[in-house]
A = this chain, B = another copy of it.
């Protein structure tokens, strides 16, 4: 038994479930798959979580918690200019998504496919709160006359969408960039600086008041 298994069996099951859900989807993963890879008895999943669906809920609640705090802090920060906040936001989010790409695969997967109203509500609330924080940053920039008028929701859709697209289309971009498709780490390492640069550059042009029409 490895260290992580000993420390907290519940957390270990969550981590294995995350891996399998991201790889094969929620419906494509059986509780037996999870139990086997986690080296625990099948019944332990019901014992700890109640059901497969509640296991997914537990996973989402566990992983989605910590983001909001950092965004709130960034949004309220008085010493940074709006441009600096945008850059920090991009850096933070790219790191976050690339480091938690498994979870983000599950999120975008579940967004449309879930038949659980609880999970749907959970996901919408998480996104709404994150969106609100960034809205404030853009609004501040517009008030200070450094950002032009833009469609805030769709601007955010472009930022989130770019990142989702990169994590979800790994196979495609690995082929384009001639990276080994099976090596997650080197993909993240190669794509991370490119992604940060691209998003900052695009947002700089897109938000700049000089490009007001």
Q: A residues near B, CB below 8 A?
A: 22-28, 105, 108-109, 111-113, 115, 120, 124, 127-128, 131, 150-151, 153-155, 157-158, 160-166, 168-173, 175-177, 194-195, 197-199, 201-202, 204-206, 208, 211, 213
Other contacts beyond A112-B171, A151-B194, A206-B206: 7, CB < 8 A: A23-B112, A150-B198, A151-B197, A154-B195, A157-B162, A160-B165, A205-B205
- Verify B171–A166 contact, CB threshold 8 A: no
- Verify A158–B161 contact, CB threshold 8 A: yes
**Nearest CB of chain B from residue A143's CB, rounded to whole Å:** 20
Q: Contacts A27-B28, A202-B206 given; indicate if A162 touches B158 (C-beta within 8 A).
A: yes
**Which B residues are CB-close (under 8 A) to A208?**
205, 211
- Verify A168–B111 contact, CB threshold 8 A: yes
Q: Contacts A164-B164, A172-B128 given; indicate if A155 touches B109 (C-beta within 8 A).
A: no
Q: List 5 A-B contacts (CB under 8 A).
A: A25-B25, A27-B28, A157-B162, A158-B198, A204-B211
Residue of B nearest to A174 (CB): B124
**Nearest CB of chain B from residue A196's CB, rounded to whole Å:** 10
- Verify A113–B124 contact, CB threshold 8 A: no
- Verify A105–B112 contact, CB threshold 8 A: yes
Residue of B nearest to A170 (CB): B112
The 7 closest A-B pairs by CB, nearest first: A161-B165, A161-B161, A27-B27, A154-B198, A25-B113, A205-B205, A161-B162
**Nearest CB of chain B from residue A153's CB, rounded to whole Å:** 6
The one of B22, B27, B155, B175 that contacts A112, using a Cβ cutoff of 8 Å = B22
The one of B108, B131, B194 that contacts A108, using a Cβ cutoff of 8 Å = B108
